[in-house]
Homo-oligomer: A and B are copies of this chain.
Amino acid sequence: MNGAPVLDLATLRSGCSHCSLQQLCLPAGISPDELQRLDEIVRRRRPIERGERLYRAGDPLAAVFVARDGAFKTVSISEEGEEQVIGFHLPGELIGLDALGAGSHRCEAIALTEANVCEVPFEQLAVVAAQLPSLQQQLLRVIGQSVGRDQDHLGILVRRQAGERIALFLHGLSERYRNIGQPATQFKLPMSREDIARYLGLALETVSRGFTRLQEDGVIDVVGRRIDILKPAELNRLAHSAEHDEPKRRGRA
């Protein structure tokens, strides 16, 4: 658990063109010389600690962020002070779009782990995007992907069975890890059971039980936040075609 990783200065210094996330992030599909324009406005921020906020609800839209590593959650606080989790953000995924509509943030973005982020001042991004059609295109695509993730989230929440939601959650997370080139069947959850519960609209006990149930069924192996997906196909099945299949029969024959 030497959690605070050795600070890779080279990584911090080097720009988008050397970033491993290049093909997933704003620079995707942008020519090298154009990339430099983008690179000039991107600020590589110092490491963020766990629990630190990138912005708070109500803050004016100043910049959007992308994690190079680590993970974030965005939460909105209801009038009663309840925290509801709007989304989780893995490396390469844009953070801060919740302010696009009104010009100020609806959510807070909180680091779930130590992380390094790139900060892109929004005004400048807009200006450069207007000048570089391929950047504009990629910006819209990245925004669209974010919309897509929100819709996936909606798709999880309308499922009424807790087990389905949990399977869908794990499946989706696994896919996202695969996308960024990390192991898709073995990973450490960056978020707590409570975060997951507030993301899925369930009680945290229900999430816990859901995990144990999946473990009992041999689909996954869980130890605290360590997840090992033993039967990806089965998880996929549970996530999609529901549990209608084996309704009563627990012990398999």
Q: Which residues of A contact B (CB under 8 A)?
A: 76, 78-80, 84, 86, 97-103, 106-107, 126-127, 129-131, 133, 136-137, 140-141, 143-148, 150-151, 153-155, 157-160, 198-201, 240-242
Cα distance, A201 to B79, chains bound together (Å): 23
Q: In the complex, how many angstroms separate the beta carbon of A176 from the nearest chain B beta carbon? A: 13
Select which of B101, B154, B198, B242 is within 8 A of A145 by beta carbon: B101
Q: In the complex, how many angstroms separate the beta carbon of A179 from the nearest chain B beta carbon? A: 12
Complex contacts, A127 vs chain B, CB 8 Å:
133
Other A-B pairs, 8, CB within 8 Å; known A100-B145, A158-B200: A86-B154, A97-B144, A98-B151, A130-B131, A147-B147, A157-B158, A157-B201, A160-B201
Complex contacts, A97 vs chain B, CB 8 Å:
144, 147
A158 close to B102 (CB less than 8 A): no
- Known contacts A126-B136, A126-B137, A144-B100; is-contact A76 B151 (Cβ 8 Å): yes
Complex contacts, A147 vs chain B, CB 8 Å:
97-98, 100-101, 143, 146-147, 150
Cα distance, A146 to B100, chains bound together (Å): 9
Q: Which of A76, A80, A158 has the most CB of B within 10 A?
A: A158
- Known contacts A136-B130, A154-B86; is-contact A100 B143 (Cβ 8 Å): yes
Q: In the complex, how many angstroms separate the beta carbon of A129 from the nearest chain B beta carbon? A: 7
Cα distance, A78 to B242, chains bound together (Å): 11
A148 close to B102 (CB less than 8 A): yes
Cα distance, A135 to B76, chains bound together (Å): 29
Chain B residue nearest to A136 in the complex (CB): B130
Cα distance, A158 to B150, chains bound together (Å): 13
Complex contacts, A84 vs chain B, CB 8 Å:
154-155, 158
Complex contacts, A137 vs chain B, CB 8 Å:
126
Chain B residue nearest to A202 in the complex (CB): B160
Chain B residue nearest to A79 in the complex (CB): B240
B157 close to A140 (CB less than 8 A): no
Chain B residue nearest to A125 in the complex (CB): B140
Complex contacts, A160 vs chain B, CB 8 Å:
201
